[in-house]
Chain A
Amino acid sequence: MSDKHTMTTAAQKSPAPIPASTGFDHPLLDRLLTGSSLPEWAVKLRRDAVDRLDTLSLPGRGEENWMRTDLRMFQPRAWVSAAERPATSGEAIPAGLLESATQGAAAVAGTVAFGGRIASLDGHVVRDELDPVLAGQGIVFGAPERILAEHGERFRSRWFSAVDGRADWFAAMHAAFHRAGAVLWVPAGVKLTTPLHVLSAITPGGLDTSHVLVVLEEGAEATVLTETVGGGESGSDGGFHCGATEIVVGRKASLRMVNLQNWSRGVWHFARQRAAVEAGGRLQWTLAALGSRLSQVQQDVALVGRGADAQVNGVMFTEARQQLVYNTLQHHMAPGCHSDLLYKGALQDRSRLVWRGMIKVDKAAQKTDGYQRNDTLMLSREARSDSIPGLEIEADDVRCTHGATSGRVDEEQIFYARARGLTADEAARLVVAGFFQQVFDRITIPPVREALSAAIGGRIRRVS
């Protein structure tokens, strides 16, 4: 692109259009805060975010991270009333995939499945439990509204410290109107052996703005599983998720985090997620995606202390006309850190999967070891995937590499398997399972691995 062209584009952009109000405004916030016991600082953050929201338009296709995301059919105003949807009484929340799998495995082993569980429906907290033994160890875990009311000062410096609540319309909308989700704080040296579970559900046409904050102090350990379910299959009956996740892994702490996006097929999913890993800390972070109509996910990992280590795993299966867009950042800010990202996606029907990954190495981050890889497997000729790796390196003593592959299921592989008695469907499922094996091998939580494997296996139809 020439300079001249760039200038023309910039000139066209200015002056910025005055955004039309989307209905996510101060009066709505006032109504939602009625009777709230949030600390004053938290309320102010929300009011500032509404002010910010008033100045923003939806991201346009001229913006690098959004140019492959089709928002033409997305109307924010359509979801305002969902923000005030009352609690649905007597409605059973569907069990999560990871939830059932973990409970199943625990039943077989005769152990406890979860140390704590939170569930919300349409933004209303319907379950908020923590094993009293864990509470006795000083662990704080619960729905954000309750935790901020009870332990507000402890989280004041952490709240919206890792994710930017001003970055764009969705970030500001979330910062102003977030509800439910979870807060976890694990004191120094405490090692949690049972996983914690956070389920965010919506009814058809519902809104979820859950916020998750996880803080592990020095030497702490934990495993957190979050998942989203529900919504409708299409159009106005779908749903809208505008969420954020912030993670702080303290010095020498270790966190295993799994986020499964398993919405129904009509849900719009926008998520901003960022983890900061301090010196000697370890993070294993797995994103899995099976659902939604359209997803736009920003997943950032910042290695902020010497020797921090992050392993990022992505498992995506798309079908029908789903569009999933992932922007990832591995930001090496301190020396001697290691990051390793592996995203694997299989695409069926006319679906589309986009991954745009960046490894950024600051000048101070000598001896960086960074890797990113994206593999896609096409199960139909109409599917489309884009892999866009990137490196931005300012330090001079680093090792940063990336790789990407895109392949189709090979007819000769299918014939080989059929010649051994497998049906065409079984053969296709086996080939796809094999494709994901490398990333499953990295996920050290067996029920999660098995649940994802089974869910994907069940979605694969005859390869076209």
Chain B
Amino acid sequence: MNQQPDHHPDQLVIRGLHVAVEGQEILKGVDLTIGRGEIHALMGPNGSGKSTLGYAIMGHPSYEVTAGTIELVAADGTRRDLLGMEPDERARAGVFLAFQRPMAIPGVRLADFLRHAVTNVRNPERKEGQELMPMKEFRSELKAKMSELSIDSDFARRYVNEGFSGGEMKRAEILQLAMLQPRFAILDETDSGLDADAVRLASQSIARIGGAGGDAASGADAMGILIITHHEQLLEHNVPHRTHVMLGGRIVESGGAELAAELHKRGYERIRAAYPDAAAAERAMEESTRNQEAAGV
């Protein structure tokens, strides 16, 4: 890297974000600022809107932003409007989403998929049809990353997520994170479906890739990471600078690492009691979902 260390990291800034899916509002005004080098934990009961936030940041076409802004703010104050970008433009701007349920692409080798992805993300101005990253260079980098992450070497030859176990899918997501080195990463339950050892490995891998948990946090390579999780273990090597609690489509409380620890121990009863409006919204959303299911929607 020939860049100077950046003491004023870029920020991912979300303001007043409202998001609806098929006409139903899921996010009801989310404010969140993530700086590079920072780790944020996003917690909350199922259905509170955590994954929706991830999809909305990445630009999933089914998630309609009805109000609010998502911007990338550079150290010099330049702002880039993420909402005006296609999903692939967002990826090339340095945003990454590790999917809770990654999609299989049968017949496409993970290495070929990644070579396309890496080429585009590193050359945001690349036009379609222009040369991909040289095979030799790509392979040696991939090999190095895989060995760093203790991933089996035949993994890259397998088809993207095709027939992968839950654990393998999550490892493939982490490998992609490592290769793409985004500025901002949203990790949506990258620990779900993993056993304790696998979560520990994932936690270490993320810490290593993100340059977190140490002095590197202020370096130019450091990522801003939003970790969506129900478990404490993933945070073991990625101690959050901030913890946010989502309930009924809003972030109702933020705190430090101690908040994550409290929620793990005690659950969301205190939160629901302290924020009755959000708890009511949560119940309404649950009811609406149940009614839709009952109606066969």
A419 with B107: CB separation less than 8 A = no
Is residue B9 contacting chain A, with contact meaning CB distance below 8 A? no
Is residue A35 contacting chain B, with contact meaning CB distance below 8 A? no
Instruction: Check A431/B108 contact, CB under 8 A, given A415-B61, A422-B88.
Output: yes
Is residue B180 contacting chain A, with contact meaning CB distance below 8 A? yes
Is residue B159 contacting chain A, with contact meaning CB distance below 8 A? yes
Please, what's the 1-or-0 string for B111-126, where 1 marks a CB less than 8 Å from any CB in chain A?
Answer: 0111011101100000
Instruction: Check A418/B103 contact, CB under 8 A, given A426-B116, A430-B108.
Output: no
Q: Could you tell me the distance in whole angstroms from the C-beta of B135 to the nearest C-beta in chain A?
A: 14
Is residue B176 contacting chain A, with contact meaning CB distance below 8 A? yes
Is residue A155 contacting chain B, with contact meaning CB distance below 8 A? no
Please, what's the 1-or-0 string for A390-422, where 1 marks a CB less than 8 Å from any CB in chain B?
Answer: 000000000000000000001111011111111
A435 with B107: CB separation less than 8 A = yes
Q: Which of B99, B105, B128 contacts A426 (CB 8 A)?
A: B128
Instruction: Check A435/B180 contact, CB under 8 A, given A418-B91, A421-B88, A421-B117.
Output: no
Residues of A within 8 A of B96 (CB): 419
Please, what's the 1-or-0 string for A423-443, where 1 marks a CB less than 8 Å from any CB in chain B?
Answer: 111110011011111100000
Instruction: Check A434/B108 contact, CB under 8 A, given A415-B60, A421-B180, A424-B88.
Output: yes
Complex: chain B residue closest to A412, CB-CB? B103
Interface residues in A, total, Cβ within 8 A: 25
Residues of B within 8 A of A419 (CB): 58-59, 87-88, 90-91, 96-97, 99
Q: Which of B105, B120, B121 contacts A416 (CB 8 A)?
A: B105
Interface residues in B, total, Cβ within 8 A: 33
Instruction: Check A420/B117 contact, CB under 8 A, given A415-B61, A431-B108, A434-B108.
Output: yes
**B15-72: which have CB < 8 Å to A?**
58-61
**B104-152: which have CB < 8 Å to A?**
104-108, 112-114, 116-118, 120-121, 128
Q: What separation, in Å, do the CA atoms of A427 and B88 have in the docked complex?
A: 10
Instruction: Check A422/B117 contact, CB under 8 A, given A415-B87, A416-B105.
Output: yes
B61 with A430: CB separation less than 8 A = no
Please, what's the 1-or-0 string for B172-205, where 1 marks a CB less than 8 Å from any CB in chain A?
Answer: 0000100010000000000000000000000000
Q: What separation, in Å, do the CA atoms of A425 and B120 have in the docked complex?
A: 13
Instruction: Check A416/B116 contact, CB under 8 A, given A411-B61, A422-B88, A431-B108.
Output: no
Please, what's the 1-or-0 string for A17-55, where 1 marks a CB less than 8 Å from any CB in chain B?
Answer: 000000000000000000000000000000000000000
Q: Could you tell me the distance in whole angstroms from the C-beta of A248 to the nearest C-beta in chain B?
A: 34
Q: What separation, in Å, do the CA atoms of A415 and B101 have in the docked complex?
A: 12
Q: Could you tell me the distance in whole angstroms from the C-beta of B6 to the nearest C-beta in chain A?
A: 22
Instruction: Check A413/B107 contact, CB under 8 A, given A420-B113, A422-B88, A430-B113.
Output: no
Q: Could you tell me the distance in whole angstroms from the C-beta of A379 to the nearest C-beta in chain B?
A: 15
Q: Could you tell me the distance in whole angstroms from the C-beta of B152 to the nearest C-beta in chain A?
A: 21
A430 with B128: CB separation less than 8 A = no
B105 with A434: CB separation less than 8 A = yes
**A46-96: which have CB < 8 Å to B?**
none
A421 with B102: CB separation less than 8 A = no
Q: Could you tell me the distance in whole angstroms from the C-beta of B110 to the nearest C-beta in chain A?
A: 11
Q: Which of B59, B88, B159, B160 contacts A423 (CB 8 A)?
A: B88
Instruction: Check A421/B107 contact, CB under 8 A, given A415-B61, A430-B113, A434-B159.
Output: no
Is residue B250 contacting chain A, with contact meaning CB distance below 8 A? no
B107 with A420: CB separation less than 8 A = no
Most buried by A among B59, B87, B113: B87
Residues of B within 8 A of A423 (CB): 86, 88, 120, 128
Q: What separation, in Å, do the CA atoms of A427 and B91 have in the docked complex?
A: 14
B120 with A421: CB separation less than 8 A = yes
Residues of B within 8 A of A424 (CB): 86, 88
A433 with B180: CB separation less than 8 A = no
Residues of A within 8 A of B99 (CB): 416, 419
Q: Which of B90, B91, B107 contacts A434 (CB 8 A)?
A: B107
Is residue B230 contacting chain A, with contact meaning CB distance below 8 A? no
Q: Which of A411, A418, A425, A436 contacts B107 (CB 8 A)?
A: A436
Residues of B within 8 A of A418 (CB): 59, 86-88, 91
Q: What separation, in Å, do the CA atoms of A410 and B160 have in the docked complex?
A: 14
Residues of B within 8 A of A425 (CB): 128
Most buried by B among A411, A412, A415, A426: A415
B91 with A420: CB separation less than 8 A = yes
List 17 additional contacts besides A421-B116, A423-B88, A437-B159; criterion CB under 8 Å: A410-B103, A413-B103, A417-B105, A417-B117, A418-B59, A420-B91, A420-B176, A421-B117, A422-B117, A423-B128, A424-B86, A426-B116, A433-B107, A434-B105, A434-B106, A435-B107, A437-B106
Q: Can you list 29 A-B pairs with a CB-CB distance of less than 8 A?
A: A415-B61, A415-B87, A415-B103, A416-B99, A416-B103, A418-B86, A419-B97, A420-B91, A420-B114, A420-B116, A420-B117, A420-B176, A421-B116, A422-B117, A423-B86, A423-B120, A423-B128, A424-B88, A425-B128, A426-B116, A426-B120, A430-B108, A430-B112, A431-B105, A434-B105, A434-B159, A435-B107, A436-B107, A437-B159
Task: Please list the residues of chain B having a beta carbon within 8 angstroms of any beta carbon in chain A.
Answer: 58-61, 86-88, 90-92, 96-97, 99, 102-108, 112-114, 116-118, 120-121, 128, 159-160, 176, 180
